[in-house]
Chains A and B, each alone.
Chain A
């Protein structure tokens, strides 16, 4: 166990390498360049594969190939680059290949700017490409969690043969915090705990992988179902898998929920700022709590459903670095049973502690 100072981007890369990522391909884009740089430096020295691709399209399709060949494979980018990868992510989901995609979000739309944002929530959670599919979407909120969550990401990708997206952002990616590199899994279930560096490409048993058809029938990696009825049958099976993931894999962090009158809802960087406000107001005796979704898809609906009908709760306040994207998931979960307020900025602006407190005062006044 050692403690080091690292950026969130580097922590993601280190976590991925420790989790047995055997293949990385990416294309430069700010603010995630520390990530690609870290892989370029450390993958070859560990006998893993690093390729700087000619485009985001090439990068995600290389991940398709590497995963089909049995490697733990990932790519990373930031918002405009993630848009470019959507076709490939749809193919990966449809071919049921495990893969990890990191989005260090910046502000959009268009070229936008390189400041942090959380405005790719819809794209990440609603299947950003064509067709009825889902990525499992994980949102770390610290440098430590950026590292830890990579173990969970690769495990979930392999377990469900499904793409997993990490939603980080420009602040989380760039900021430095102390990181304990130990393989200790803070987010993953204890069952999944294993010594680090054990899961390399060739130790994984993936009977479906393309390895050459020696001693078995040929394997095919594909997403094409032309015959009448075949695609519908396949889609129903995918939907069954998604239902199973929704039942088993929702994760959130809850703070002071049982007696809270106001519950703030935020994820990633925004949750850090919100948490600090919640802690300060608690010290002043205010009945305030926090829900920080860790899985954005599947969304942790149940906790909202339960709290929405409790006698103590008066209101939810959703705070995002967007103009209200996760807000819709909260509203769907709450289903009109409790008021849902919203505070959001985007385009590089981040709601401050002062703005949050002001908003809370306005809400209290209304109550």
Chain B
């Protein structure tokens, strides 16, 4: 009988530390499946973030580097320049990519580095206890916006993917969502495109994934998926941005 489904080789067969309903596990697996399907496990180098996914290198079964908070794309830039035949990607949360690391993000994109970026947007800082992220929605309650985010005090949710899409060095930007089986299939397609672009030397490619954080959204996992659908997607519309 033909085997049509198995555990990805690029993902170690161990349980993760993620909370129930968290999107990281799904995103890790999608990346592992894409790496397997493209046959690049022995060429890929992943840059793991600071945040909940800090030990992603314990879950992926390929070469990885840590990066200080926000500096993923500086580290990735250098690795790719030193080893252009390797496939280098960063995995970064919203605080990492769009707050503390905004400078590194914009300039790596503007240099048109041939890199793949997987950007996890869950509208909150997870690891440190649910503080406001640059992508926190207006009205959303967090540990540092106990009455809800207001544009007057904290400004608006930062649409960094749209900002990056304006740069000539950026070749591909897509936003997808991990809220449903359909969304996960589209997410995987986008991730695959972003990796294929690097293999084909197209240039800087970024996929933003809307991802649930039930623990710091203070709601059960099923409601979190509804919240992505009903609230997050309104602020962060899905589809190909560039």
Contact = CB atoms under 8 A, between A and B. Distances in A.
Partners in one complex: yes
A62 B75 contact: yes
A53 interface: yes
Interface in B65-98: 65-68, 71, 74-79, 81-83, 86
Interface stretch (B21-29, B38-46, B141-149, B164-172): B38-46
A61 B69 CA distance: 11
A87 B61 CA distance: 28
Contacts of A58: 71, 74, 103-104, 107
Interface in A125-154: none
Interface in B26-69: 41-45, 47-48, 54-55, 57, 60-68
A210 B103 contact: no
A68 B65 contact: yes
Contacts of B81: 23, 49, 51, 66
A65 B66 contact: no
Nearest to A217: B61
Contact of A69 (B43, B60, B79): B79
A70 B103 CA distance: 25
A213 interface: yes
Nearest to A71: B82
B133 to A, nearest CB: 20
B14 to A, nearest CB: 14
A127 to B, nearest CB: 16
A226 B60 CA distance: 18
A68 B42 contact: no
A212 B103 contact: no
B74 A69 contact: no
A213 B83 CA distance: 13
A57 B74 contact: yes
Given A69-B83, A212-B86, A221 B78 contact: no
Given A22-B82, A95-B66, A53 B74 contact: yes
A224 interface: yes
Q: Which of B54, B61, B62 has the most CB of A within 10 A?
A: B62
A88 interface: yes
A88 B68 contact: yes
A54 interface: yes
Interface residues of B, number: 34
B64 A218 contact: yes
B38 to A, nearest CB: 13
Q: Which of A55, A71, A221 has the most CB of B within 10 A?
A: A221
B43 A212 contact: yes
A242 interface: no
A214 B61 CA distance: 12
A49 B82 contact: yes
A222 B57 contact: yes
Interface in A49-96: 49, 51, 53-55, 57-59, 61-66, 68-71, 73, 87-88, 91, 95
B74 to A, nearest CB: 4
Given A220-B63, A224-B66, A65 B57 contact: no
Nearest to A70: B82
A253 B48 CA distance: 45
A221 B62 contact: no
Contacts of A352: none
A256 to B, nearest CB: 47
A244 interface: no
Nearest to A221: B65
A54 B68 contact: no
Given A212-B86, A218-B64, A221-B65, A68 B75 contact: yes
Given A211-B63, A218-B64, A88 B71 contact: yes
A33 B76 CA distance: 25
B66 A213 contact: no
Given A88-B68, A211-B86, A213-B62, A224 B78 contact: no
Given A49-B81, A51-B81, A211-B63, A65 B107 contact: no
A214 B68 contact: no
28 contacts: A23-B81, A51-B78, A57-B74, A57-B103, A58-B103, A58-B107, A61-B68, A61-B78, A62-B74, A65-B74, A66-B78, A68-B79, A91-B68, A201-B82, A210-B65, A211-B63, A212-B42, A212-B45, A213-B42, A214-B42, A215-B42, A218-B60, A218-B61, A219-B63, A220-B66, A221-B64, A222-B64, A224-B66
Given A65-B75, A210-B86, A222-B57, 5 more contacts: A22-B82, A61-B67, A63-B78, A68-B79, A224-B54
Interface of A: 22-23, 25, 49, 51, 53-55, 57-59, 61-66, 68-71, 73, 87-88, 91, 95, 201, 210-215, 218-224, 226
4 tightest A-B CB contacts, nearest first = A65-B78, A65-B75, A61-B74, A214-B42
